[in-house]
A and B are shown apart, each in its own frame.
Chain A
Amino acid sequence: MKSLELWGAIFAIVLASSGGDVLLSSAMKRIGDLHDLYAERGLLVVVGRVVSERRFLLALCCFTIGFFSLLTALSWGDASLVAPASASLTFIASAVMAKIFLKEDVDHRRWVAALLVCVGVVLLR
């Protein structure tokens, strides 16, 4: 049962982190290239546009949930399992969610890169 709870917490980390990344990416695409906005309107306008974007605030909520899920998972299991499992699964989940929700062109190049990084992260920890 404890193992089930631990994997539930790891699943929550992966879901919250990937969801936060997708929301953040969506928010930044709605705002547009920050280089151009900064050059045209200045820093205060850039900051104002970012913090007033609803998806940005939702992304922050997701990251907060992910952070507390991480703390919970670390209190239930070893860091040597929680950290690599959550980091590597987040790479794959983000690629899947980017394809589904952001309609990104996740071609074979990006799938292979995500898999290589995923396996590499597991070996590093």
Chain B
Amino acid sequence: MNLKKYLVLLAVMCFGSVGDALLKRGMNDFGPVDLHHPLHVVTALANPWVLAGIACLIVFFSSYLNALSWADLSYVLPATALGYVLVTILGRTFLHENVSPARWLGVLLISCGVGWVTRGPALTAPRQARIPAPEEQHEIA
């Protein structure tokens, strides 16, 4: 793992969370979707918050594809879960949301999980053919 790869994981965390938050902000302006006119939702694309959210999610998906090209899925998923923590801290700081002790415990558990998994190898080593022990080679001969 080098700095560039950690930055890719950071991009997965940040752009996914920020993209979701921007979409939520835009859809709050747009209002509830009418199920009788489902195509009306396309007009939400004119909302700048929605457009910014989609741009962030495109960066998120590109970073996610990049991460999966050099790391295991069972490494990437927990390693990028820090996005949940980021949303909680952003909500507490900028939206002045009330964060209960149970939520802070959740933040702590996720942080521990992320710290735990990122200290291990990112990719499963390819299996190598077992080299016979010297006595086995003698038996074969």
Contact = CB atoms under 8 A, between A and B. Distances in A.
Interface of A: 21-22, 24-25, 28-29, 31-35, 50, 91, 94-95, 98-99, 102-107, 109-110, 112-117, 119-124
A46 to B, nearest CB: 9
B114 interface: yes
A109 to B, nearest CB: 5
A121 B106 contact: yes
Contacts of A107: 120
A109 B116 contact: yes
A121 B81 contact: yes
Contacts of B125: 105
B120 A110 contact: yes
Across the A-B interface, give the 5 residue pairs with the lowest CB-CB distance, nearest first: A123-B106, A116-B113, A120-B109, A113-B117, A120-B110
A119 B51 CA distance: 33
